[in-house]
Structure 1
Amino acid sequence: MSMFEALDRVGTAALLRFLVVLLLFVALHLARQPFRLADWLLMQGMRWLNAQVTTALPPRTQHTGKEGWG
């Protein structure tokens, strides 16, 4: 079905509504991109910080339970 056949069948208003909804979908998708980038950068920063902290800590020692307060 061509655009002109659809125009004859459903009318101009229906095609305009479809175009508005399509443009709104694209606009919302594009508006989401900066937030996705910020999320990705935050995740990379947290991974880097986690690696720095865990390599800086001394290894854990095994506790037998007998070196307590008593």
Structure 2
Amino acid sequence: MTTGLEKEFDLSMKEVNDFISWYEGKQAGSGSASYAINKHDNNKGPFSSRKDYMLFDRILTFEVSEYTK
């Protein structure tokens, strides 16, 4: 993030590819200013759903590390 904040998420490859598609589309001039990332099993508390919203103009860099189970 442009503020130096770092976030880490455990996502499926489909979710990673969806994020990259959103990012590339926004860079090309189309799409929403934010992207919601579902926190899945990291859903602490009495919530039925939790999402982190990434703001396009605040993303400085992102890393994708792929692993096998």
TM-score, length-scaled by structure 2: 0.26
Larger radius of gyration: 1
Greater fraction strand: 2
TM-score, length-scaled by structure 1: 0.26
Which structure exhibits the higher relative contact order, with contacts defined as CA atoms closer than 8 Å and separated by 6 or more residues?
Answer: 2
